[in-house]
Amino acid sequence: MTTTGTDTHRGSPTCLPIRSDMDLMWIRQEVRRLATEAQFSLVQQTKLVTAASELARNTLVHGGGGHMEATVLNEGVHTAVRLVFADSGPGIADVDQAMSDGYTSGGGLGLGLGGARRLVHDFRLDSEPGRGTTITVVMWHGGVPPTRQAI
């Protein structure tokens, strides 16, 4: 997550805790607010909020709680919202398996991770068993800029 892009400006990040179902509601509202601020279309807003809801619930249910950091990025005419979900839970042993649709360890539908990846433009998962999981997603408004930094 190096941020050396000369044209990339970013607002100050918002950090929200993920410890209970009430926090999930707060996260959805906050992400919707940021997406509106970044002038996302209604479809884009809905997709980002849904992805955030899935990932935040994973952080809560599988990671035992953590936090989300949200930042609005600007690169030329392109605007993006970046969300980072971090927990210090047990981590994911088999990432490919966890990403596959229908696989679940928590009694859900098993669509959270794979679905969230399809809903956003950039998706990165860092996990190590015993060390927790960090998932970074980015959604661009006005198309994905060709010069964007790898997240």
Partner 1 sequence: MRVSEQQIGDEWSSASQVGQALRHRREQIAQRWADAPLFRTVFTVSRDEAVEACKAVLDALAEVAEAGRVEDVDAPGFFVVREQLARMSASRARTGLSPAQIAGEVAALRSSAVEHLTAELEQEPTAVVHGALLALTTLMGTLRLVVMETALSDGAELINRQRQQLLEVATPVIKLWDGIVAVPLIGTLDSARSQVVMESLLEAIVAQQAKYAILDITGVPTVDSLVAQHLMKTVAAARLMGAECVVSGVRPAIAQTIVQLGLDLGGVVTRATLADALAFALRGLGVGFGPTSQGAVAR
Interacting residues with partner 1 (CB under 8 A)? 21, 25, 28, 32, 42-43, 45-47, 49-50, 53-54, 57, 101, 108-109, 111-112, 114-116, 118-119
Q: How far apart are CA 137 and CA 29, in angstroms?
A: 17
Name which of 56 and 84 has its Cβ closer to partner 1. Answer: 56
Name which of 55 and 75 has its Cβ closer to partner 1. Answer: 55
Q: In the bound complex, what is the minimum distance in angstroms from residue 42's beta carbon to partner 1?
A: 5
DSSP E strands in the chain: the ranges are 8-10, 14-18, 66-75, 78-87, 122-128, 132-141
Q: In the bound complex, what is the minimum distance in angstroms from residue 116's beta carbon to partner 1?
A: 8
What does the chain come to in residues? 151
Name which of 75 and 125 has its Cβ closer to partner 1. Answer: 125
Strand-pair partners of 137: 83, 123
Q: In the bound complex, what is the minimum distance in angstroms from residue 40's beta carbon to partner 1?
A: 11
Q: Rounded to the nearest 5 degrees, what angle is found at the Cα of 102, between the Cα atoms of 100 and 107? A: 125
